């Protein structure tokens, strides 16, 4: 951590978004994570994504549990809503918040420990409900806050700083989410913001559960030789499969794409995600194809990245439940509450 | 782009915008830090090492440092560098014991300095401690040259001049006042080993229009100011017109107000934005209710019954093109403005009626001597020029810079060394890391606005001609102003081989200076940085290829606030904050042991 806060002085020609805000207006307090932590880069990517999407800070809710990753919501968009939940319980709290107010944009930041160990049950059920949120896993393969024990995402053979290499099968959040029916699944790397920012933008706008698994190296406990989640290892085995460009609503797709490899997908707000298939054999809309591809590459030690699966057709939680559009938090109490008489009637049905 | 070569002292020197812009390369951030620590005497000596006259310059310097100051680009207004210099001078203790002294035995070399202004005094300051027998010849009965005769006492009190000039004269300089040199030939006949000419640009420009010689109430600005300084003139009419809008005009109008004028108009031929006067001098004059009339071109003087009653002007209209250039203008009418006196302040020329033209000193078409810009020597060996007399009117700080260079040349000349073979500028770099997140300097950005110089009340200041208008910064103002300095000499130094490309530095940089990207040519790179680098006067710092991806780290030096957060957030210490100290060679360095470099034998 630093002794001084990031000075408020800014570049005089900083771009402003449609709300007249600069990216600096979307910052939070200064990070207290280790210098060089991948999580800080993810924070910056989130700031950029939210800034570029012209999201009003008070219409954003940032949710987290426990862990290094779960500290990071303090470091972006200070003027938004937020909830720092019990370890692993962020998905449930987000489910509750979303149930009460569906108009907010929900961004959950979790880690491999928070999501794949203690909160694994919460994680899978949020996917099952297709909860409308952007779910970011800052994945570094270790428990940084407790000094570097292996987490559930540690690869077989990955060496710790001290002690024996990991022998247990890792949980891959991407193939887990794919098998559970998640509707937006991406993977990226904290050191590749060019790829990461549009993936987060798509995740924020996707109508349903959007997972972004970000390899985010732990500089202190897992950035050494022999680690499979270090900066150097990630860069070496990094494999772009499908890159994505975000195109705002009513804007034409400008970039020129190679024939056949570009695939525009319209999101519910009219904006588009243009998929650029780096690997022509890949189909990010077929669960079967992508599952085999991803498992094969995963087993080969490759880190497949990009927007790996997308399905815009499935309804999100409110749609599945047939809820009204008005957020319950804004619905008049007398209509929301059935009244003592009605309640008694309902209860009597179960007697 | 190729990796930036930071081993050349020039690269980091340029990053210190103020120091680079200063002709004498005063180490501004260093002396501001010393002031911040309350070490006023040390700050004074740091100043004096390069600019010789901190008290004088702290009041009347032309301040090329301030428009260059990075703070002026990050925000609106630069650090009040000049005002802080005065703080160091005002609060210093007796520093006379810290000044160099002449050795008990001279080195037998005799040097003549013509004129006792800032250029000659600088040469004396550099040479007297080395054992030279220095003689200053001055036509007037006092020292200081134009600093004393042309700068009014309400801006520069004589006491300040006397003190700082005495420091130099007390080194054992032979001062000959009332000693006008009327012939260079005769001076050369006296057998000096070297001669330095620091006689300034003493001739005010005239305005040859009808009526010019029909009244005694039309004055040449610098001559008039000199007469006021020597109390030959102590009054002026009620209505005064000043022709011209340079810094001399500002001194003339403000002096007029103190000699009895109550309506002073400064007549400018061109519109605002094309004035020669410094902004702050314009501000100070306008604060005293001097009226500046634009687009008035002098036509003739109106004389009635042998008495000056007014002046006629052509009213001008100009076109300014997109590049900001102004055309010659067209006349749209005429106007006569009544007045009692007119002061002409339209520029100065050099004048060397005392230098014979057949002794090997060449003059150019503007009657300026042909002088080598590096050595300050003219076309005759052993004769050197400096200050306004060398290249036409500039300012005090340039004269000081010339004086230092001339002193080096004179030393080399007297020892038969090659004048062109001078010691190079050097640079020290030293890490300022004091602990995990501690730096030896105040690295936090203080958003305070520039402090304003307090002035003597408008009703008080006109009572006497020598009431100094500027009061100097208070302690509170000083404390705030020093924190505005960005410490640009604490450099961001990058070691590419240590970088793991985690982006931490890029993410934390408050002003978007840093980018990791694929290398390219400069024009291309400038457009694809974190923020476009549109100030082409500021360099891009390009690293060697980074180990993991072979991309490069690029820093746009333009707006860096030197907060050190890049270095704090760097997990591998690839960034470090290192203080750059520019090592400027002076005559004393050339004279140091082991530095004698005999000239190459004649071929």
Domains of chain B: 9-97+446-484 (1.10.1060.10), 99-202+350-414 (3.50.50.60), 204-347 (3.50.50.60), 490-581 (3.30.70.20)
H or E segment at B542? strand B540-545
B500 to chain A: which residues are within 8 Å by CB?
36, 219, 223, 231-232
A25 to chain B: which residues are within 8 Å by CB?
none
Structure confidence by residue, pLDDT tens digits, A255-293: 666 555 677 888 888 888 888 878 877 889 999 988 999
Give the closest-approach CA distance of B500 to chain A in angstroms: 7
B502 to chain A: which residues are within 8 Å by CB?
36-38, 41, 190-191, 217, 219, 231
Q: Do A232 and B502 touch (CB under 8 A)?
A: no
Check if A257 contacts B (Cβ < 8 Å).
no
H or E segment at A38? helix A38-52
A235 to chain B: which residues are within 8 Å by CB?
501, 548-549
Q: Measured between alpha carbons, how far is B557 from B538 in angstroms, rounded to an integer?
A: 6
Q: Do B534 and A13 touch (CB under 8 A)?
A: yes
Helix or strand or coil: residue B28?
helix
Considering only alpha carbons, which residue of chain B is nearest residue A191? Answer: B502
Q: Which residue has the tokens 């090592």?
A: B583
Distances (CA, A) of B353 to B183, B184, B356: 8, 10, 8
Interface test with A, best of B73, B433, B442, B510 (most A CBs within 10 A): B510
**β-strands B239-243, B218-220 pairing:** unpaired
> Is B575 within 8 Å of B567 (Cβ atoms)?
yes
Q: Do B511 and A11 touch (CB under 8 A)?
A: yes
B447 to chain A: which residues are within 8 Å by CB?
7-9
Give the closest-approach CA distance of B488 to chain A in angstroms: 16
> Is A261 within 8 Å of A280 (Cβ atoms)?
yes
Q: Measured between alpha carbons, how far is A133 from B49 in angstroms, rounded to an integer?
A: 65
pLDDT at B598 over 70: no
Q: Measured between alpha carbons, how far is B354 from B369 in angstroms, rounded to an integer?
A: 13
Considering only alpha carbons, which residue of chain B is nearest residue A48? Answer: B507
Q: Mean pLDDT score of chain B, rounded to an integer?
A: 94
Domains of chain A (ranges, CATH numbers): 23-330 (3.40.50.970)
Q: Which residues pair with B113 in a beta bridge?
A: B136, B196
So what's the pLDDT on residue B196? 98
> Is A151 within 8 Å of A143 (Cβ atoms)?
yes
CA atoms within 13 A on the CB side of A297: 21
Q: Which residues contact B469 (CB under 8 A, 6 or more apart)?
A: B154, B155, B284, B455, B456, B461
Burial class (CB in 10 A: 0-12, 13-18, 19+), A210: buried
Interface test with B, best of A9, A34, A189 (most B CBs within 10 A): A9
The per-type count for chain A, helices as H runs and strands as E runs, is: 12, 12
B443 to chain A: which residues are within 8 Å by CB?
4
Q: Which residue has the tokens 């031929």?
A: B269
Per the structure block, which two tokens stand in for B270? 């061109």
Q: Which residues contact B68 (CB under 8 A, 6 or more apart)?
A: B17, B18, B20, B21, B78
Q: Measured between alpha carbons, how far is B558 from B540 in angstroms, rounded to an integer?
A: 8
Task: Tell me which residue of A162, A167, A168 sits closest to A149, measured CA to CA.
Answer: A162
pLDDT category of residue B505 using cuts at 50, 70 and 90: very high
Q: Do B569 and A35 touch (CB under 8 A)?
A: yes
Q: Do B531 and A34 touch (CB under 8 A)?
A: no
Task: Tell me which residue of B75, B69, B87, B100 sits closest to B32, measured CA to CA.
Answer: B87
Q: Do B502 and A11 touch (CB under 8 A)?
A: no
A190 to chain B: which residues are within 8 Å by CB?
502-503
Helix or strand or coil: residue B225?
helix
Q: Kindly give the residue spans of alpha helices, DSSP state H, lying in B75-177.
A: 81-90, 118-127, 146-149, 158-169
Give the closest-approach CA distance of A50 to chain B in angstroms: 15
Check if A240 contacts B (Cβ < 8 Å).
no
Q: Which residue has the tokens 């072979």?
A: B550
Residue bearing the bigger pLDDT, A272 or B528 = B528
B506 to chain A: which residues are within 8 Å by CB?
44
Q: Measured between alpha carbons, how far is B54 from B39 in angstroms, rounded to an integer?
A: 15
pLDDT at B125 over 50: yes
pLDDT category of residue A254 using cuts at 50, 70 and 90: low
Per the structure block, which two tokens stand in for B458? 């408008």
Kindly tell me the sign of the dihedral angle through the C-alpha atoms of A239, A240, A242, A244.
positive
Distances (CA, A) of B84 to B72, B77, B225, B236, B299: 16, 15, 28, 35, 44
DSSP per-residue codes, B550-600? --EEEEE-TT-----HHHHH-SS--EEEEEEEEE---HHHHHSTT---BPP
pLDDT at B351 over 90: no
Check if A194 contacts B (Cβ < 8 Å).
no
Q: Do B74 and A41 touch (CB under 8 A)?
A: no
pLDDT category of residue B372 using cuts at 50, 70 and 90: very high
> Three-state SS string across B91-115, please?
CCCCCHHHCCCCCCCCCCCEEEEEC
So what's the pLDDT on residue B596? 53
Q: Do A12 and B443 touch (CB under 8 A)?
A: no
Average pLDDT over residues B332-358: 94
H or E segment at B239? strand B239-243
B512 to chain A: which residues are within 8 Å by CB?
11, 14
> Is B204 within 8 Å of B249 (Cβ atoms)?
no
Distances (CA, A) of B366 to A53, B220, B391, B394: 64, 20, 10, 15
Structure confidence by residue, pLDDT tens digits, B454-467: 999 998 999 999 99
Check if A105 contacts B (Cβ < 8 Å).
no
Give the closest-approach CA distance of A220 to chain B in angstroms: 9
Q: Measured between alpha carbons, how far is A168 from A171 in angstroms, rounded to an integer?
A: 9
Q: Measured between alpha carbons, how far is A12 from B75 in angstroms, rounded to an integer?
A: 8
pLDDT at B252 over 90: yes
Backbone angles phi, psi at A116, to 5 degrees: -105, -10
pLDDT category of residue B549 using cuts at 50, 70 and 90: very high
Average pLDDT over residues A295-312: 91
Q: Measured between alpha carbons, how far is B129 from B142 in angstroms, rounded to an integer?
A: 23
Considering only alpha carbons, which residue of chain B is nearest residue A218? Answer: B502
So what's the pLDDT on residue A46? 98
Structure confidence by residue, pLDDT tens digits, B466-500: 999 999 999 999 999 999 999 999 999 999 999 99
pLDDT at A70 over 70: yes
Nearest to A11 among B437, B501, B559 (CB): B559
Q: Do B444 and A7 touch (CB under 8 A)?
A: yes
Q: Which residue has the tokens 């060679």?
A: B585
Q: Measured between alpha carbons, how far is B245 from B276 in angstroms, rounded to an integer?
A: 6
So what's the pLDDT on residue B602? 45
B507 to chain A: which residues are within 8 Å by CB?
40-41, 43-44
Structure confidence by residue, pLDDT tens digits, B162-176: 999 999 999 999 999
Check if A1 contacts B (Cβ < 8 Å).
yes
Average pLDDT over residues A343-347: 92
Nearest to A4 among B444, B511, B548 (CB): B444
Q: Which residues contact B182 (CB under 8 A, 6 or more apart)?
A: B354
Backbone angles phi, psi at B320, to 5 degrees: -115, 125
Helix or strand or coil: residue B511?
coil
Give the strands of the sheet with B239-243, arranged side by side.
Answer: B218-220, B341-344, B239-243, B263-267, B291-293
pTM of the prediction?
0.91
Per the structure block, which two tokens stand in for B156? 């520069």
A219 to chain B: which residues are within 8 Å by CB?
500, 502, 571
Give the strands of the sheet with B514-517, arranged side by side.
Answer: B514-517, B552-556, B540-545
So what's the pLDDT on residue B603? 43
Q: Do A232 and B500 touch (CB under 8 A)?
A: yes
Q: Measured between alpha carbons, how far is A173 from A193 in angstroms, rounded to an integer?
A: 20
DSSP per-residue codes, A102-148? TTSEEEEEEEHHHHHTTTHHHHHHHHHTT-SEEEEEEE-SEETTTT-
Q: Measured between alpha carbons, how far is B252 from B243 in angstroms, rounded to an integer?
A: 10
So what's the pLDDT on residue B595? 57
Buried/exposed code over A310-334 (b: 16+ C-beta within 10 A; e: otherwise): bbeeeebbbeeeeeeeebeeeeeee
So what's the pLDDT on residue A255? 60
Q: Measured between alpha carbons, how far is B302 from B299 in angstroms, rounded to an integer?
A: 10
A13 to chain B: which residues are within 8 Å by CB?
531-532, 534
Task: Tell me which residue of A58, A42, A135 sits closest to A92, measured CA to CA.
Answer: A135
Backbone angles phi, psi at B463, to 5 degrees: -65, -35
Check if A7 contacts B (Cβ < 8 Å).
yes
Per the structure block, which two tokens stand in for B129? 């401690």
A44 to chain B: which residues are within 8 Å by CB?
503, 506-507
Average pLDDT over residues B188-202: 95
So what's the pLDDT on residue A54? 96
Q: Measured between alpha carbons, how far is B407 from B387 in angstroms, rounded to an integer?
A: 13
Considering only alpha carbons, which residue of chain A is nearest residue B75? Answer: A12
Q: Measured between alpha carbons, how far is B580 from A94 in angstroms, rounded to an integer?
A: 52
């Amino acid at each position: 951590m630093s002794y001084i806060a990031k000075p408020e002085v800014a570049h005089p020609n900083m771009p402003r978004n449609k709300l007249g805000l600069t990216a600096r207006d979307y910052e939070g307090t200064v990070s207290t994570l280790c210098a060089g932590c991948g999580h800080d880069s993810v924070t910056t990517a989130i700031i950029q994504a939210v800034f570029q999407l012209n999201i009003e800070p008070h219409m954003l809710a940032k949710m987290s549990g426990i862990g290094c990753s779960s500290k990071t919501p303090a470091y972006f968009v200070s003027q938004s809503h937020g909830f720092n939940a019990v370890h692993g319980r962020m998905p449930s709290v987000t489910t509750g918040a979303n149930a009460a107010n569906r108009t907010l944009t929900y961004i959950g930041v979790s880690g491999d420990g928070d999501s794949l160990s203690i909160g694994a049950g919460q994680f899978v059920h949020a996917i099952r409900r297709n909860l409308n949120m952007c779910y970011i896993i800052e994945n570094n393969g270790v428990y940084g806050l407790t000094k570097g024990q292996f987490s559930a995402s540690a690869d077989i053979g990955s060496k710790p700083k001290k002690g024996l290499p990991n022998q247990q099968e890792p949980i891959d959040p991407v193939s887990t989410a794919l098998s559970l029916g998640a509707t937006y699944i991406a993977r990226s790397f904290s050191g590749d913001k060019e790829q990461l920012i549009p993936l987060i933008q798509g995740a924020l706008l996707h109508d349903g559960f959007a997972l972004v698994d970000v390899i985010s190296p732990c500089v202190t406990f897992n950035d050494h030789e022999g680690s499979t989640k270090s900066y150097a290892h990630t860069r070496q085995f990094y494999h772009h499969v499908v890159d994505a460009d975000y195109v705002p609503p009513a804007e034409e797709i400008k970039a020129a794409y190679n024939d056949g490899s570009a695939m525009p997908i319209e999101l519910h707000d009219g904006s588009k995600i243009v998929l650029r298939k780096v690997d022509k054999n890949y189909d990010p809309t077929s669960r079967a194809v992508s599952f085999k591809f991803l498992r094969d590459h995963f087993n080969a030690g490759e880190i497949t990245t990009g927007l790996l699966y997308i399905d815009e057709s499935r309804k999100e939680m409110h749609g599945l439940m047939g809820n009204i559009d008005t957020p319950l938090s804004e619905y008049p109490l007398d209509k929301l509450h059935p009244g003592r008489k009605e309640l008694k009637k309902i209860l009597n049905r179960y007697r | 782009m190729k990796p930036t070569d930071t081993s050349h002292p020039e690269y980091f020197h340029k990053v210190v915008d103020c120091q680079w812009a200063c002709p004498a390369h005063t180490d501004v951030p260093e002396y501001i830090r010393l002031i911040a620590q309350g070490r006023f005497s040390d700050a004074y000596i740091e100043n004096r090492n390069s600019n010789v006259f901190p008290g004088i310059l702290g009041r009347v310097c032309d301040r090329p440092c301030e428009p260059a100051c990075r703070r002026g680009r990050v925000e609106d207004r630069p650090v009040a560098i000049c005002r802080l210099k005065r703080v160091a001078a005002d609060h210093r203790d007796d520093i006379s014991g810290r000044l160099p002294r002449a050795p008990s035995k001279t080195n037998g070399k005799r040097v003549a300095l013509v004129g006792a202004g800032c250029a000659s005094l600088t040469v004396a300051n550099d040479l007297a401690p080395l054992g030279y027998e220095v003689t200053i010849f001055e036509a007037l009965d006092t020292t200081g040259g134009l600093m004393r005769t042309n700068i009014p006492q309400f801006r520069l009190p004589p006491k300040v001049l006397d003190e700082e000039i005495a420091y130099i004269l007390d080194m054992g300089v032979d001062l000959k006042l009332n000693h006008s040199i009327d012939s260079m030939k005769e001076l050369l006949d006296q057998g000096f080993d070297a001669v330095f000419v620091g006689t300034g640009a003493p001739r005010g420009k005239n305005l040859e229009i009808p009526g010019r010689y029909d009244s005694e109430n039309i004055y040449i600005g610098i001559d008039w100011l000199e007469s006021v300084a020597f109390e030959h003139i102590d009054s002026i009419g009620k209505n005064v017109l000043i022709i011209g809008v340079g810094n001399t005009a500002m001194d003339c109008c403000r002096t007029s107000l103190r000699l009895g004028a109550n309506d002073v108009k400064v007549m400018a031929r061109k519109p605002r934005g094309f004035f020669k006067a410094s902004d702050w001098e314009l501000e100070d004059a306008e604060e005293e209710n001097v009226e500046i009339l634009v687009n008035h071109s002098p036509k003739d003087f109106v004389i009635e019954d042998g008495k000056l009653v007014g002046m006629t002007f052509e009213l001008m209209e100009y076109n300014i093109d997109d590049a900001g250039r102004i055309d010659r203008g067209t006349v749209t009418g005429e106007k006569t403005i009544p007045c009692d006196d007119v002061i002409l302040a339209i520029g100065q020329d050099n004048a060397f009626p005392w230098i014979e033209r057949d002794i090997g000193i060449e003059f150019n078409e503007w009657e300026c001597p042909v002088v080598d810009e590096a050595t300050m020597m003219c076309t005759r060996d052993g004769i050197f020029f400096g200050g306004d007399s060398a290249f036409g009117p500039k300012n005090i700080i340039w004269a000081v810079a010339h004086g230092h260079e001339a002193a080096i040349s004179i030393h080399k000349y007297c020892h038969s060394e090659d004048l062109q073979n001078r010691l190079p500028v050097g640079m020290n770099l030293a890490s300022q890391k004091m602990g995990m997140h501690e730096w030896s300097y105040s690295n936090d950005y203080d958003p305070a606005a520039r402090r304003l110089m307090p002035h003597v009340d408008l009703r008080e200041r006109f009572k006497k001609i020598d009431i100094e208008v500027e009061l100097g910064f208070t302690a509170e103002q000083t404390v705030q102003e020093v924190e505005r300095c960005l410490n640009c000499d604490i450099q961001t130094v990058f070691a590419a081989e240590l970088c793991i490309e985690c982006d931490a530095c890029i993410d934390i940089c408050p002003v978007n200076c840093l980018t990791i990207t694929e290398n390219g040519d400069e024009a291309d790179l400038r457009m694809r940085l974190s923020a476009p680098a549109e100030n082409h006067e500021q360099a891009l710092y390009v690293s060697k290829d980074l180990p993991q991806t072979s991309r490069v780290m690029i820093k746009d030096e333009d707006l860096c606030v030197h907060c050190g957060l890049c270095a704090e957030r760097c997990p591998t210490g690839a960034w470090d904050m290192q203080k750059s100290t520019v090592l400027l060679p002076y005559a004393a360095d050339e004279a140091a042991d082991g530095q004698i470099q005999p000239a190459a034998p004649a071929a």
